[in-house]
Structures are given as structure tokens and as C-alpha cells.
Amino acid sequence: MSLASSLTDVLPMEAALRPIGALLDRARGARGCLLTFHRSAPSALWERLPNRNFYLDLAYLDRLLAYLKAQRWSIVTMEEAIERAAADRPGDRFANFSVDDCYRDTFEEIVPLFRAHEAPVTLFVTTGIPDGTMPLWHAGLEDIILSKEHILRDGRTIEVETAQEKRAAYATIERAWEGPRAGALYSAFCAENGFDETRLRDKHAISWDMLQSLARDPLVEIGAHTVDHPRVSALGEAEALAELEACRRRLRERLGREIRHFAFPFGRAADAGERDFALARRAGFSSAATTRKGVMRRRSNVFSLPRNTLNGGAKSLAMAEMHLTGASGVVARMLGRV
């Protein structure tokens, strides 16, 4: 689909939303929108992925980047977003894209696409991924389901031939495994289905070599996203602080640079609160981002910045425009989904 035709497709909704944003800006000055996602996939693969909402279709991301440029949004690093919000120039509009966790596709697909658009991108790295200390069971489970027509679970055969069956099986097993035993259940599942867990992890994990090469790119900004990806609010204070500090230290040690920005895993209101925002400051960061929806303004607290998650299933520019205007944040607060 060409950019021109895709823009026409969304115009009615988008055209209705844009003036709302412009009106608010006249009253309220500069507007920044932080957007985040995890993984990416080419369109044909995206259609078949068992956990596809976790991935952005690369063609959609390409369209979104072109659209922002056409609408004269500046795409900036977190560092610049914070400066521009503070400067509060009337009519200034800027967006930041961050990739959370960081898998191999960050290196192979996502950063190359941002490079093609000459746009910066922020990578919030979970250091347990390149260090190989996290089992990456979500990615492995998905890979096994994707590559098979039937799988074995606890001695029973489950048909996973169609994309719909694959999605259903993934959702059921993910729900059943979620919790402290996930790693062990996944290991047993790999063995039962004849898959090598280490090879699967290496296929999906980003490596330190990849991160080192990305960190040399002036368009790439590296931020921290903990060591083990815990729900920070659920940890005791010392343990929470250690997750933040150890991640920052490890990234500095491997990439040879100061790490100034942090993003909370999960990032909704129940996942990170006032104590945790203070811990991010104590750990030496200059900002911390959540996944509470909304836009960034001059008065935004830089230790609890709003950030809008791009869901893989929402492939419309109108949905992106909801985030850009701040409308999705207003709706989320009205529905109590914070």
C-alpha cells in the first residue's frame, strides 16, 4: 500500500483528531509523545505469529514514521524530548520511539528501519537478555508453536496448524505458566517437544556485540530496563534499587557510556509508584518512563513520564493519532485503565 493511499484511508478519523491536538497546544504549549513497543515482524510473518500483538508490523512502522514526518513532528531521543518539554516552545511537537527489552529483531529490523528514516530511537535494554540469564520463555514458546503443526503438552497432543489455533494455544499456555515456575515449565516443554532451549534463546536474544555496534550509531540512544524485568513495585526497596543500579552499571561497563534514562518494566500504575520514581532518581538516572498513556508537557514529572504502548494489532494511523493528541490518555483515565 502506498503512503498516499494509506493516508487517505485514515483521513476522516485522523482529520477529526488533529484539530483537537492543535487547539490544546495553543492553550498548553509544547507537546511530546513517547511511544513504545517491543518487537517487530515483516507483514507475512506477523499474520501468523501466535503472540502478534507483541510485535509491530514493520510495514506499519514504516508508514507511521513517514506519516509523522509528513505531519512535521520531530522524532527525537529521550534526552532531547526532556529538553524540548522544558523549553516549551509554542507549537513544538516531538515524538520519541522506544523499544523495550530488546531482542534480536531490534538489531536486524527495527534500528535499520529508523536509520532509513534518519530518525533516532531509544533502546531500553533488559540486561538479562544479552547476559543470557533470562530464559526468554515467551519467545521460545511462540517459536515452537509457530514452527509445528502439533505440539505436546504434558503428554497430550495439541493441534496448532492454523494461525488461529496457534494464537489460542499460545494464550492458554502463557496464562498457565505465568509466575515463578514459568522457566521450569518451559524447560520441560522444550524437552517434550525436542527443542534445544539454548539455541532458541540465542535465536531471539540480542547479544552484547549487537548492542555495542548499535550503541556506536548516533541515532541510537541506550536506556535501562532492569536486569530481570521484574514488577519493580512488588520488590522490597533494596532489591528494587539493586535491579535499577545493576542494570545501569552493566550497560555502562559493556557499552562504555553513561546511561541516563530508565523505563519501568510493565510500567502501569500498579507496576511502579512514587517510591519507585524516587528510586530511579537515587539510582542515578535523569528520567524514568512508565506506560501510563498521555502526552508530555513542560510540567511533566521526568521520573514518571507517560508513554504510549503501540499494540501490534492496532495498525491504523488514527490510533497513533489518538496517542499523539493525548486522547488515548484521556480515555484510559476515564476508564480507570492507568
Could you tell me the CA-to-CA distances from 20 to 25, 67, 69, 200, 321 in Å, in that order?
9, 18, 19, 47, 11
Closer Cβ to Zn ion, 115 or 231, answer by number: 231
> Shortest distance, CB of residue 320 to Zn ion, whole angstroms?
20
For Zn ion (CB under 5 A), the number of binding residues is 3
> Shortest distance, CB of residue 62 to Zn ion, whole angstroms?
23
Cβ atoms of 53 and 174 within 8 Å: the answer is no
Beta strands in 176-311 (DSSP E): 220-224, 261-263, 287-289, 308-309
Which of 100, 142, 243, 321 is close enough to bind Zn ion by CB under 5 A? 100
Rounded Cα gap, residues 279 and 282, in angstroms: 5
Closer Cβ to Zn ion, 102 or 327, answer by number: 102
Which of 14, 25, 57, 101 is close enough to bind Zn ion by CB under 5 A? 101
Rounded Cα gap, residues 336 and 338, in angstroms: 6
Which span sits near Zn ion by CB under 5 A: 80-88, 98-106, 270-278, 300-308?
98-106
243 touching Zn ion, by CB under 5 A: no
Give kind and range of the element (H or E) at residue 153: strand 150-153
Helix (H, G, I), strand (E, B) or coil at 325: helix
Which of 32, 265, 294, 329 is close enough to bind Zn ion by CB under 5 A? 265
State the cell numbers at 225.
530496563
Which span sits near Zn ion by CB under 5 A: 161-169, 174-182, 260-268, 289-297?
260-268
Closer Cβ to Zn ion, 101 or 105, answer by number: 101
> Shortest distance, CB of residue 262 to Zn ion, whole angstroms?
12
Could you tell me the CA-to-CA distances from 94 to 2, 32, 63, 121, 291 in Å, in that order?
25, 5, 17, 13, 18
Residue nearest to Zn ion (CB): 100
Which span sits near Zn ion by CB under 5 A: 17-25, 72-80, 101-109, 311-319?
101-109
Closer Cβ to Zn ion, 14 or 276, answer by number: 276
Closer Cβ to Zn ion, 100 or 221, answer by number: 100
Closer Cβ to Zn ion, 85 or 121, answer by number: 121
> Shortest distance, CB of residue 133 to Zn ion, whole angstroms?
15
Instruction: Give CB contacts under 8 A, 24+ apart, made by 165-171.
Output: 166/48, 166/49, 166/50, 167/50, 167/51, 167/52, 169/50, 169/145, 170/50, 170/51, 170/141, 170/142, 170/145
> Shortest distance, CB of residue 19 to Zn ion, whole angstroms?
34
Cβ atoms of 284 and 245 within 8 Å: the answer is yes
> Which residues make up the interface to Zn ion (CB under 5 A)?
100-101, 265
